[in-house]
Structure 1
Amino acid sequence: MLGLRTTIYKVGDIQKATEWYTKAFETPPYFNEPYYVGFNIGGYELGLQPEENPTTDKIESVVSYWGVDKIKEVYDRLIQIGATAHEKPYNVGGELMTATVKDPFGNIIGLIYNPYFKI
């Protein structure tokens, strides 16, 4: 195992999702095709793929957490641009904090402030 490389979010409207994720992560895609959109987020790939049967009612079995420095600010900004609150920022021990939101397409986006983990 070499470590995490890509997190994929399935979306009903890949064009709208590309616009939303560009705004949410403040990064344009490096790869943009109708079948896949890829973003380089701090050296990790965030990918969008179109769904065959679009739904916003998604299974919550796996959550990828994106590292942030100011979790409350990022959480609030994502809500302001159309995400839905899922789990408000909370302390999970020491200085470690996590939160989750749902994107407009039903996917869970995890946020983590972890000053103990360095890349």
Structure 2
Amino acid sequence: MLRGMATVSFYADDLEAAKTWYTEVLGVEPYYAVPGAYYEFRIGDYQHELGIINRKFAPAGAQNHPGGAILHWHVDNLEASFDHLLALGAKEYTPITPHGTGDFITASVTDPFGNILGIMQNPHYLDILTKTHSA
């Protein structure tokens, strides 16, 4: 049923500031834009979509504070990525946390716009990447 993450959507009261912040974090400009409403980035090995949406278009009942599910993006160096996000103004949401044997490590931040951004070192991700890119 679920085939893969297609788009994750974040909301921001200040859309232009969010576009600027995520451009700095990701090192790429949005590939699609509806100024005043929506910016979309393609990122990572599979060019997944990260959409930044003007909060005025959020669904009825959407909360303006962090909560709910956390989507973790694979990173090669969790500590450096975490420090980079904090240096750019994000706030720690969950600390750097090893899981199981320590091969899986997660952390998350709240971006300056109230969204939770999870990061993870995940050997399973790297295994799948190797298999799919060598096929």
Q: Same-fold call, TM > 0.5?
A: yes
Q: Which structure is higher in helix share?
A: 2
Matched, 1:26 2:27: yes
List structure 1 segments (4+ residues) > 4 angstroms apart after TM superposition: none
Matched, 1:78 2:85: yes
2:53 to 37, 49, 54: 49
Alignment correspondent of 2:94: 87
Identity in percent = 31
User: SS of the residue aligned with 2:56?
Assistant: coil
Cα RMSD for the two superposed structures: 1.9
2: CA distance, partners of 1:57 / 1:51: 9
User: SS of the residue aligned with 1:73?
Assistant: helix
Q: Which structure is higher in strand share?
A: 1
Q: More deviation in 13-22 or 109-118?
A: 109-118
- Unmatched runs of 5 consecutive residues or more in structure 2: 130-135
Alignment correspondent of 2:122: 114
1: CA distance, partners of 2:94 / 2:116: 10
1:40-68 CA-partner distances (Å, limit 9, x unpaired):
011100000001289x9424111111110
Matched, 1:60 2:67: yes
Q: More deviation in 65-74 or 86-95?
A: 86-95
**Paired amino acid for 1:27:** V
1: CA distance, partners of 2:66 / 2:112: 15
Compute the TM-score of the two structures, normalised by the length of structure 1.
Answer: 0.91
1: CA distance, partners of 2:95 / 2:26: 19
2:42 to 40, 43, 47: 40
Deviation at 1:76, TM superposition (A): 0.3
Would you say how many aligned residue pairs link Structure 1 and Structure 2?
119
User: SS of the residue aligned with 2:124?
Assistant: coil
1:7-51 CA-partner distances (Å, limit 9, x unpaired):
000111110000000111112110122211000011100000001
Compute the TM-score of the two structures, normalised by the length of structure 2.
Answer: 0.81
1: CA distance, partners of 2:64 / 2:96: 23
Alignment correspondent of 2:76: 69
Contact (CA 8 Å) 1:12, 1:53: kept in 2 or not?
Answer: no
**Paired amino acid for 1:11:** A
- Unmatched runs of 5 consecutive residues or more in structure 1: none
Contact (CA 8 Å) 1:85, 1:100: kept in 2 or not?
Answer: yes
